Amino acid sequence: MQSVNSLTLITLTADRPEAFELCKCYGRRAIATLEAHRMLSTPVSVQWIVVDTGAVAAQPDSAQQYYRGEPIANGNISFLTALAVALRAATGDVIAFVEDDDYYSAGWLARVVNVFETRDIDAFGIGEAYYYHVRRRAWYQHSNKSHASLCSTAISSRLLWAFQDLVDFARSPFVDMDLWHGIVKTGRGYVAPGCSIVVGIKGMPGKTGLGAGHRSDWYRHEDPDGSFLQTLIGADADAYLKYGDNYHAHAA
């Protein structure tokens, strides 16, 4: 267990303005919820780092610590370079990764802080995670039980230097797998089973991300009316389902 007095959020973005606007909205909400939870105890200061490697500059909030990187055509190199910049700027007791195109519930950050303050761990993540492709209106639940994707991972600052080294020497952008491989060996990680406080959102407008989750054929369960996404994230689903309207109208 550790006392969490400061929290760093890391967001990497590149030419996904619609997704980034939602990211800012849900991030601000999660920070406000965390502040409300801590009103009667020690407050948690929040550092939100944004590294932007898009061809067109993003529009960060004034409270975000914004770094404008050079666009790099190779997506793998661009991701690893941006992540290295962010990790070197991180100062929090806990570092949480907030991907620009994924969904974060109001209670996500409060849950992160609570887990680190009540469990003797170095990493926390969501296993058996849900992914939703907004244009396809289809979903998939991952089978991972011992590790988490980077979008739903938070680490103690005790791991920061080791993760920096891992990123600096990585040959693949899938550093979350390498990170959790080491955590599983030590037994100092906690993976919460399938819940929707974080949902991987794919198919948003703009630059396509890395990984199999961005392939539309990865999604096995159709959700034409969006009802399943609504069961996962409630009224927040409306912000995403509109991106599937034109796709489905054209397909019909």
96 in a structural domain: yes
245 in a structural domain: yes
Q: Residue 99 in contact with residue 154, Cβ under 8 Å?
A: no
Q: What angle do CA 152, 5, 109 make, to 5 degrees?
A: 25
Q: Which residues face 94 on adjacent strands? A: 7, 156
Q: What is the pLDDT of residue 145?
A: 87
192 in a structural domain: yes
Q: Residue 85 in contact with residue 67, Cβ under 8 Å?
A: yes
Please state the three-class secondary structure of 179-244 as a single string. HHHHHHHHCCEEEECCCCCEEEEECCCCCCCCCHHHCHHHCCEECCCCHHHHHHHHHHHHHHHHHH
DSSP strand pairing (45-52 vs 64-68): parallel
Q: What is the CATH number of the domain that holds 129?
A: 3.90.550.10
71 in a structural domain: yes
Rg of the chain over all Cα atoms, to the nearest angstrom? 17
148 in a structural domain: yes
Main-chain phi, psi angles of 143, to 5 degrees: -95, 0
**Start-to-end C-alpha separation, the chain:** 54
Q: What is the pLDDT of residue 111?
A: 96
Each residue's pLDDT tens digit in the chain (252 positions)?
889 999 999 999 999 999 999 999 999 999 999 999 887 688 999 999 999 999 999 999 999 999 998 887 777 778 999 999 999 999 999 999 999 999 999 999 999 999 999 999 999 999 999 999 999 999 999 888 889 999 999 999 999 999 999 999 988 888 999 999 999 999 999 999 878 999 999 999 988 766 666 666 778 899 999 999 999 999 999 999 998 765 544 444
Q: Name the domain count of the chain.
A: 1
Q: What is the pLDDT of residue 252?
A: 44
155 in a structural domain: yes
SS3 at position 81? helix
**Spatial strand order in the sheet of 64-68:** 64-68, 45-52, 6-13, 94-97, 153-156, 123-126, 189-192
Range of the domain at 196: 6-251
Q: What is the pLDDT of residue 66?
A: 97
1 in a structural domain: no
21 in a structural domain: yes
- Token digits of residue 116: 């680190």
Q: 183: exposed, middle or buried (C-beta count within 10 Å: 0-12, 13-18, 19+)?
A: buried
